[in-house]
Amino acid sequence: MTNRKPIAVTTGEPAGIGPEVSVRAAWSTTEPVLLIGDRGMLLETARRLGLAPELPGNVRIHHVPLRELSVPGRLSRANAPYVIETLAEAHRLVTAGEAGAVATAPVQKSILIEGGYRFTGHTEFFAEAAGVGRVVMMLVSSPKCDALKVALATTHLPLREVPDAVTQESLTEVITILRRGLVEGYGIDHPVIAVAGLNPHAGENGHMGREEIEVIEPVLARMADSDSTLVGPLPADTIFVPGKMERWDAVLCMYHDQGLPVLKHVGFAEGVNVTLGLPYVRTSADHGTALDIAGRGVADARSMAAALELAHTLQKNRDARMA
């Protein structure tokens, strides 16, 4: 076991595959892990999966009790407070210095909303908890440092709201956070970032929309400096073409479904969600709760294991840079 602080792992919606993939991932690594969730449920999950009945030496459990017994595949509003408490505890532990970073298993947004919580996603939850005005969602295809990295200028918005949300101010903040995340987390001293346009063909010189001319181009021109290279705005349908994609350290897309289908095609099994702009590292498995297979012992834990691996790597790199 290393001397590094453990990764605080929120084990997700108890009726989904979160507990299963969290336990599998924790048991498969030698790095320190702090599982946050109901102790009895997590140990029973390990037993059902045929894992060692005792906790491995690198794994501890921070007990948060279920509100009612959870049945795989069956959502319960009664356990919505439990899920929120696991997230709040992760934030508390990492800000108190008892954990080095946070990795999250999937939650079910719908049942949290039905349980009375204003919940739009992990990203927004941790931003609010940390008192951060803006964070950036970045998806990576694997925990390897040379993996495809796709960041988003906007996150969970209806498509009709996206153009109004992409402003010069917001785009400047997003690029600033993305550049800093690539430098601090990945050790890329001069990142090259490809920026997608909002409209087809990046607006076709204003014939298919003027956001590129009036918003994106002025920001890229103003932020041009020696710290990074910003390329764009580029048409989203060619920004990922082999031969071009290898030139970029990251791609910045304007909205959720502009970039994530490509990312998930390239690396769905080991994809990881990273939240940039928080005062600590936060990663997440890049999949949902999979209620249809919960409790059957067949869930693929590679994305969760990748989230743990990447959390340790990013935290180590950040610590080394700040030392």
Collect all residues with Cβ–Cβ distance below 8 Å to 291 and sequence separation of at least 6: 15, 16, 73, 75, 108
pLDDT of residue 269: 86
Strands 7-10 and 149-152, by their bridges, are unpaired
pLDDT, one tens digit for every residue, the chain (323 residues): 456 899 999 999 999 999 999 999 999 999 999 999 999 999 999 999 999 878 999 999 999 999 999 999 999 999 999 999 999 999 999 999 999 999 999 999 999 999 999 988 898 899 999 999 999 999 999 888 889 999 999 988 899 999 999 999 999 999 999 999 999 999 999 999 999 999 999 999 999 999 999 999 999 999 998 788 999 999 999 999 988 888 999 999 999 999 999 998 888 889 999 999 999 999 999 899 999 999 999 999 999 999 999 999 999 998 888 76
CATH code linked to domain 1-132+278-323: 3.40.718.10
Handedness of CA 149, 150, 152, 153 (dihedral sign): positive
Topology alike, domains 1-132+278-323 and 134-276: yes
pLDDT of residue 323: 67
**8-state DSSP, 247:** G
pLDDT of residue 106: 96
Strands 136-140 and 272-276, by their bridges, are antiparallel
Give the orientation angle of helix 122-130 with respect to helix 80-95, to 10 degrees: 50
Contact yes or no for 63/36 (Cβ under 8 A): no
Dump the DSSP string for 63-120: E---SS--BTTB--GGGHHHHHHHHHHHHHHHHTTS-SEEEE----HHHHHHTT----
Domain ranges of the chain: 1-132+278-323, 134-276
pLDDT of residue 321: 80
Residue 243's identity, in one-letter code, is G
CATH code linked to domain 134-276: 3.40.718.10
